[in-house]
Structure 1
């Protein structure tokens, strides 16, 4: 399967019946940001054009940059007039700007030349750089770690590659505060970090910074006791926060205890649970702080009815039916969160608020307020793929067909190798069950190396989540395939005009976290489909594939919100923690049910065979170029394939990443002798640019042992993960 890069040029959401009633009257973040950007742009333009201010003596910065830094103050002068106080503000904030860039001895003096003109005389002084930071008194925390905290505020404004940082006193003070916060986060409650002292070296224009530290005792959690109406035993409750209790004592971790315990109770129906955790550092023995947790569980609540308001075009029953089966069941915030996420993924809502309201007895009615999103969307796309060449596309999507919340999508895509048109109907809640239904009609005209085809057909899918991570499905497909042009001899093509109807099963176990950005965890996917004359198929075969992947980021998992966690390690360690390694393996086999022996290799039509090589398989080969070829060097495909991948990805700068990889795989002409014969390999490197929906990739794979007629390597430009 080939990959390509598609960039969305633009999309337009189309309203249907005016504005939907807003569930909550709020200013959206994007609107607030747009308004703020307009104000900043206006201030910037005014600051650059005004004649109310003049600069003298500046050398390190251009006047345009100085005006930009003072745009808010200049705007104030323009609107309310010039006064000594406002002139003094201009001089003050200009000095602040210079000092933030290392000009510690800068002096700015203002002169009011007329009623509407002020002159700023600047004496910049030398650029002072940071020489070294000396920590006096640190024993438990390493100097390298503390140094990164101190220089962190300065590094935020400069390239990570810059070695000589400017000296900024305000940054050093902020850095010293960060060091103190680090000590407190590590349990040093009595620690004291004195204000920095500075030693100026006038000849070299460098500054040494000395930071005295008094660490004191490090505290840990001691005995944790529980009182009140606890219901559950102490060991069970302690297990909900065992990771907290193993870390150094901090107030933030104590504050996290009630949230942990309340979440445990609420997941079991105790909607009114109240938990209070009190620590007594003054009563600590040998640094062990006792903690008492008071619990008031309250009664168990059950779900009652549902009310919905704020909908305009979408029928309220669409929302009500998502929650109706909860009636009478024990309250669970996790179940509500899952239903909420499911509804938001449909794209039908801008705002969706679910509020449990107590009603008669220990029942909770769900009052739902919603604001509908625009249901219709029209978009264009443009892209490029190594194999397909240039690509343009258009798509129209109605997420709320006839007000029932069922999406209908029509799309067309044209590339340098062909075109594709598709109509897709989706029902994420088929017959108001947990099954998802999809029906797809598609027409494809595509030019492969050696032959061109026209493919017209349909496909229906019925899938269901068995667990949050495991999904199974049944698929029925009907296709008419016709080879409309070929340079490959007919005996290698197989049937050139046929119907292929298949019934298949698929199962995916996806344990990955953040699968589109930096995946963590493993993935297993397998498919099995059967083409039979019983379904009206002209050809008969059985086909199966399996795919596994394991992705291991080297950074630690983020801790639970509310728990303080410092950034550990040296710059090299932090760089390494942003890298990850992935392992992938795939295999597939297709076998004819009507032909065996020497003729079996060509009994399967060429368009149903497997191909190997390309941007997501063995990357030392061009797309579909690995495996059997005819005398004109056209790929013929095969009936059994394997692919193995290992890739290490590391940060370069910002969202740009580098990668090194090795691939292996084979493609055998017949399924009667599957195995690992004739393995081909790739060793290579590439670049990735991270996007929210996946990376853009540029790879080059080298063939370490090229056979005759094989290339030394291949470039691939594509989108998404390789495996």
Structure 2
């Protein structure tokens, strides 16, 4: 190995002397790394490698190989292992190969050794009080469950600092604004074990003092004070401050909402609190144009006015045109904090024309919606609606579902719709981890006598798995059911389920998968089942390549799911990451099916 290394150095020297290009690093690999992936180790390298194709696609040039660069990378890898608890990691002599075109392939040989594990975790408060004496049982349990460091588990720097912050915040939330968390750790390298003692100086209990609000001009101070989760004299809590900030932002009236308690070296037990605000502009407008495979040319405009009617109400006037919606006009009035700080009421009169492959209708009506924000992940909605539907199109003129008439061109709907959404995916616009669960239930035929009675429910689940950096596996499952309460016919045409299209089974055009009439027009159905699996690969700094398989179908009868009647499609995608999410193109075709036509879909955002 030493002879090989000396030879490489001579090659480098001779190359430099002859005036030719120095050796570039083509590939870096690792052997013996069981606990840390090669991808994570490469993130710590000071050596940057790249293939010829990679250099062309990403404009990323490979580093030139030098021994100082190699030594620096070795130090970084050793430090990366030490942060993961491997204090005795060893490295063998590297394997360095030079290709015919003067490229270097470098291999690191790693002997990880045994990691340091924690044999004991203890807590000392103010040097005299123990963990069990100070904390209540429920707090003990919370700390035990939420702490990342565990007895008989490998020590990691990241978990250590996370736990230190967590413990400090727990004391802050108990009123100890001046709490300090230190530690003492004894490491036994012979047994590869360690004892960790958290040493906490809790300080005195602090209380909220006078509360001042500044920066608000249009919004009355009393409206802001209603959003506060604390008042003067309450025990100080960082959690209450953070939640108050969210509740003030929920008003939708401010660009900046900063809440600070004034700490000083004298450490008083009463802390004045200052709420600093910067109001958003009263008038805000948005405008956009685009083109899509399904909606063709589209254009929209949205005009918002803050402080409408009430001091915290906001009004939006929205207009849109596309091939799928020749016109869509909506007026929306939103009143935040109606019953609770995270509750909003929305009144939404609308007029729209929907031109789908299966129908062409005009809808007009009004929605009254109550939105409840439970947490960053969990939201719910209750919507009361009344609307009239005019279906003059020849595409849909025989909705026999409604009554004994052969034709029904106009009808009224009224009812209630309830929805729940839980989403913890991160990052939100292009998740690589987490999942989403959405449920919507609709009951029509409540307020208007001539309204058509039916039920409709839709359940959708999405899951994201980050296999390794740059590789994500995404899953989607969707199930829908609808039924008329007074017959076994189809529900109204706009309430039926349809499959096929950019966000459905991508081997078919929009709404083209499922039941059709004699002329080949889709008629939709009362039952829907869909599923998708997609692998996403980051092949450039912002370029994503994906391959996928979709499956699904629609059936006319209610609660009828025939697994042997599912249709399948497969394809691939290229997407470019932008600040508003990925944009790209999906190309798919049916498989195991008589239909063989390729479908092209342009998307903003991931299909799921």
1:623 corresponds to: 510
Write the deviation string for residues 428-479 of structure 1: whole angstroms up to 9, x where unpaired: 3115544221111221123333643221121110122455544333211111
Tell me the distance in 2 between the aligned counterparts of 1:363 and 1:650: 54
Post-superposition shift, 1:216? 9.4
1:309 pairs with 2:214 = yes
Pairs within 5 Å for 1:412-423: 412-417=319-324, 418-423=326-331
Native 8 Å contact 1:519 1:551 kept in 2: no
Alpha-carbon distance between aligned partners in 1 of 2:169 and 2:357, rounded to the nearest angstrom: 58
2:124 maps to 1:227:
yes
CA shift in 2, pair 1:246/1:374, >3 Å: farther
Rounded Cα–Cα distance in structure 2 between residues aligned with 1:242 and 1:388: 49
For 1:349, the equivalent position in structure 2 comes to 254
Matches of 1:278 and 1:633, distance apart in 2:
76
Output the CA distance in 1 between the equivalents of 2:562 and 2:31: 65
Summarize the Cα distance change of 1:250–1:676 in structure 2 as closer, same or farther, 3 Å threshold: closer
On the 8 A contact 1:500/1:537 being kept in 2, the answer is no
**2:258 counterpart SS class:** strand
Residue 383 of structure 1 corresponds to which residue in structure 2? 290
Contact 2:347 2:366 in 1 (8 A): yes
Shift of 1:127: 0.6
What's 1:69 paired with? none
1:276 aligns with 2:182: yes
User: 2:72: which partner in 1?
Assistant: 174
Q: Which moved more, 1:472-481 or 1:504-513?
A: 504-513
Q: Distance in 2 between matches of 1:539 and 1:381?
A: 36
- 1:543 equivalent to 2:455? Answer yes
| Paired residues for 1:112-123 under 5 Å | none
1:406-485 correspondence to structure 2 within 5 Å: 406-417=313-324, 418-431=326-339, 433-449=341-357, 451-466=359-374, 469-485=377-393
8 Å Cα contact 1:517-1:692 kept in structure 2: no
SS in 2 for 1:271: coil
| Structure 1 contact 179–193 (Cα < 8 Å) conserved | no
Cα pair 1:440 1:460 within 8 Å, conserved: yes
SS of the residue 1:581 aligns to: strand
Q: Taking CA–CA contacts closer than 8 Å with sequence separation of 6 or more, which of the two structures ends up with the larger relative contact order?
A: 1
Distance 2:601 2:593 in 1: 18
C-alpha deviation, 1:483, in angstroms: 1.9
Structure 2: gaps (5+ residues): 1-10, 134-139, 401-405
| Alignment match, 1:564 | none
Shift of 1:619: 1.9
Contact 2:26–2:50, Cα closer than 8 Å, also in 1: no
Equivalent residue runs for 1:595-614 within 5 Å? 596=487, 600-601=489-490, 604-614=491-501
Mapped partners of 1:658, 1:634: distance in 2: 34
| Distance in structure 1 (CA, Å) of the matches to 2:364 and 2:551 | 34
SS of match in other structure, 1:323? coil
- Does the 8 Å CA contact 2:421/2:438 hold for their aligned counterparts? yes
**Aligned partners of 1:607 and 1:448: how far apart in 2?**
9
Deviations 1:55-110 (A, max 9, x none): xxxxxxxxxxxxxxxxxxxxxxxxxxxxxxxxxxxxxxxxxxxxxxx998999xxx
- Structure 1 residues 677 and 501 mapped into 2: Cα distance closer, same or farther (>3 Å)? farther
Match of 1:626, SS state, is: coil
CA 1:386 to 1:330, structure 2 compared with 1: closer, same or farther past 3 Å? farther
Task: Identify if the C-alpha distance between structure 1 residues 308 and 105 changes in structure 2 by more than 3 Å, giving closer, same or farther.
Answer: farther
Task: Give the C-alpha shift of residue 540 in structure 1.
Answer: 2.0
> Deviation per CA, 1:126-145, whole angstroms, max 9, x where unpaired?
11114799999999999967
- Does the CA contact (< 8 Å) of 2:555 and 2:561 recur in 1? yes
Pairing 1:177-326 to 2, within 5 Å after superposition:
177-187=75-85, 219-229=116-126, 230=129, 232-233=131-132, 241-243=147-149, 257-281=163-187, 286-301=191-206, 303=208, 306-323=211-228
Q: Tell me the matched-pair count.
A: 577
Q: What do the CA deviations read for 1:476-504 (whole angstroms, capped 9, x no partner)?
A: 11112112332455466852112212222
- The alpha carbon displacement at 1:186 in A equals 3.7
Q: 1:548 to 1:272 in 2, by over 3 A?
A: same
Structure 1 residue 695: Cα displacement: 2.8
Q: Quickly say closer, same or farther: Cα 1:676–1:306, change in 2 above 3 A.
A: farther
Following superposition, the deviation at residue 219 of structure 1 comes to 4.4
Q: CA RMSD in A?
A: 4.4
**For the residues of structure 2 that align with 1:677 and 1:146, how far apart are their CA atoms?**
43
1:689 aligns with 2:584: no
Where do 5+ consecutive residues of structure 1 fail to align? 1-101, 108-122, 556-572
Match of 1:698 in 2: 585
Provide TM-score, normalisation by structure 1: 0.68
SS at match of 2:591: coil
2:48 is the counterpart of 1:125:
no
Q: How far does residue 285 in structure 1 lie from its aligned partner after superposition?
A: 5.5
Larger Rg: 1
CA distance in 1, matches of 2:466, 2:146: 26
Distance verdict in 2 for CA 1:448–1:127, change over 3 Å:
same
Displacement after TM superposition at 1:518 (Å)? 1.0
Q: Which residue is equivalent to 2:597?
A: 712
CA displacement at 1:696 relative to structure 2: 2.3
Q: Which moved more, 1:510-519 or 1:609-618?
A: 510-519
